[in-house]
Amino acid sequence: MAEQAVEQSTDPELPGDQADATAAPEAGAAEGEHAPSKEATGEAPKAPENIPAPGGGYITVRDRYSIFYDRPIPSLDMPNALAFEVEDRKQPGRALYALISKPEMLARISVMRILKGNEIPHMLPMVDWGAAEWPPASRKCIIIIYHRPLGGRVMDSLSAVRERIPHHQFPKLVIKPIADALVELGLKGITHRAIRPDNLYFMDEGRQKIVLGDCCTSVAASDQPTVLESIESGMSGAYGRGSGMYADDMYAFGVTLLMLAIGRNPLAGKSNEEIIDKKMKEGSYASLLGDERIPMSLIECMRGLMTDDPEQRWAVENIDLWINGKRLTPVQAKAETHSQRAFKFAEQEFFSCRPLSVQMHRHWDDAAKVINDGSLEIWVRRGLERNELADSIAAVTKTTQAMPGDQKEADDLLVARVLMLMDPAAPIRYRTFCTHLEGFGSALAIAMLQKKSMQPFIDFINKDLWRYWVAAQKVFHPDHAQWEGVFKDLKNYLKDTNSGAGIERCVYELNEWLYCLSPLIGSQYVLEVKSILPALDIVSKTANTKMWPVDRHIAAFLRARYAKGTGTQIDAMNDEKPDRATTGNA
């Protein structure tokens, strides 16, 4: 095999965790590009086909693991990562494989740092990880090495049909192992957020040991089809769901069990909107089960896991009691207040707030009309007899109508605030933008990685949407208090037009493990300040030497990661005097 030598690249950003890589690609190997990501749909997302695997090439990580990019393993691909064969030089024959995460996706580095070296029972064991040069992409990518599951996936995809698992095997083969894994993750402060039938694997060839699959190659819950997510999480954009709570994993666990019990996805082929509407109308358990017949012995567990009230949803303790024979009665979500008279909107009739709020989000401009003319308030007061809610809607309408400035912007804010009042548990909705508060940072990072418009995020910050959402919550959570200082700083960054501030500063402040997105050094996957100069040295061989070496992204990255040590220099760099600006760049 004809090979060309490539200098060993060591990235020092994560001592003990960052991978050293030596690449030995075949001469003339093709280079690939990365395509933009798509949000999760009702079906299992397709694995990206954006990293071609040229023949005869490999990289060596930590002088031990050879990852062959001419040996893909499509059966182990993830929605935002491709799988390739791995050979362990110290232990030949060891069954391993690597997942290569897309640069356009934000990997969960904080989770990887915990999982490496901490073997979680009944979870795919992580051997190593790091950012290493990946020749097919002509840049560094996050690489995660796992033990290879010899029995393959439990279910090939959510559109597949598989033989039902015998109900008497369920507690021992499926329920207890996954429950134990979730307990261990919970003790480490981690939510999995990727529990679904096609992310469960048989570790052994005899297909008797089931483990949870990868949860690190993409933003939390972004790979999850809507059918696997609770109503509140499913409403959100895929990248804005956030890490969620323990109850979110339990919900996905319950839906996964139901799909394995009946051997298929009962809502396959339905759109995200249809799935959300059906769950709201019938409840998650009823909408997923439909006319399917499942063993009586499993009904209690599934109802407990899929209840739509997260406060009543089963935890692992309930599962343990159930497995040990104690009969429990799952408490279903309390029914929403219904009106005796319908509210007509978008050629439909509505009798409760939540489904109406969803439809108002889908018909945004029409929603502004029924709020401004008072018809919504009247229906809430007379039909639902919810005077407190009606008073809040009236107060918000009066305040917003009195705001100076553009009427369209005022209407947008009005609709957003009223939707928060009508359904406080729903994500924050502002026209087509939809995110949970804790998912705002990751949604911003993905939008910037994929070069999408920043305006919705700027509006979110400047219009204080987060504050209105917190005020609309029925119960104040202590975590809400932290957002006051965070968004105050973000607004100040947006007001500052100098380099080192702006929306670039916001994205790094909200994402601790986001690499520097500068067009100059983005391909070097720089995670720490000390790696910026080595990265600039590498790219200086091909970069335009007339360009300033510190752009807005590098300046913002420096201020966010090392504000005390770089403030004076960046202030000088922003000086109008050319000689002083040059000194700041030195």
| Side-chain half-sphere CA neighbours of 525 within 13 A | 30
pLDDT for 562 equals 85
CA–CA distance, 358 with 366 (Å, rounded to integer): 13
Q: How confident is the model at residue 291 (pLDDT cuts 50, 70, 90)?
A: confident
pLDDT for 118 equals 87
Of 26-30, 147-151, 493-497, 565-569, least confident by mean pLDDT is 26-30
Q: Three-class SS string for 206-219?
A: CCCCEEECCCCCCC
Q: How confident is the model at residue 297 (pLDDT cuts 50, 70, 90)?
A: confident
User: For 501-522, what is the mean pLDDT?
Assistant: 96
Residue 134, strand partner residues? 139
Please give the structure tokens belonging to residue 574. 């922003």
pLDDT for 37 equals 40
Nearest alpha-carbon partner for 457 in 401, 504, 389: 504
pLDDT for 580 equals 45
Q: What is the pLDDT of residues 400-427, one digit of tens each?
A: 988 888 899 999 999 999 999 999 999 9
Q: What is the pLDDT of residues 321-357, one digit of tens each?
A: 998 888 777 666 677 889 999 999 999 999 999 999 9
pLDDT at residue 499 greater than cutoff 60: yes
Q: What is the pLDDT of residues 23-39, one digit of tens each?
A: 444 433 333 333 334 44
CA–CA distance, 234 with 268 (Å, rounded to integer): 15
Please report the domains of the chain, with CATH numbers, ordered by start residue. 9-147 (3.30.200.20), 167-323 (1.10.510.10), 343-426 (no CATH), 496-585 (no CATH)
> How far separated are the first and last CA of the chain, in Å rounded?
45
The pTM is what? Answer: 0.87
Nearest alpha-carbon partner for 330 in 286, 276, 294, 264: 286
Alpha-carbon distances, residue 565 vs 157, 297, 486 (angstroms) = 50, 62, 21
pLDDT at residue 40 greater than cutoff 50: no
pLDDT for 146 equals 97
Could you please report the per-residue DSSP string of 47-71? PP--S---TT-EEEETTTEEEEEEE
Nearest alpha-carbon partner for 60 in 36, 90, 92, 24: 24
Q: At what angle do helices 353-362 and 364-372 cross, to 10 degrees?
A: 120
Mean of per-residue pLDDT scores for the chain: 87
Q: How many residues belong to the chain?
A: 586
pLDDT for 13 equals 41
Give the whole-number percent of the chain exceeding pLDDT 70.
85
pLDDT at residue 270 greater than cutoff 60: yes
pLDDT at residue 161 greater than cutoff 90: yes
pLDDT for 56 equals 62
Amino acid letter, 555: A
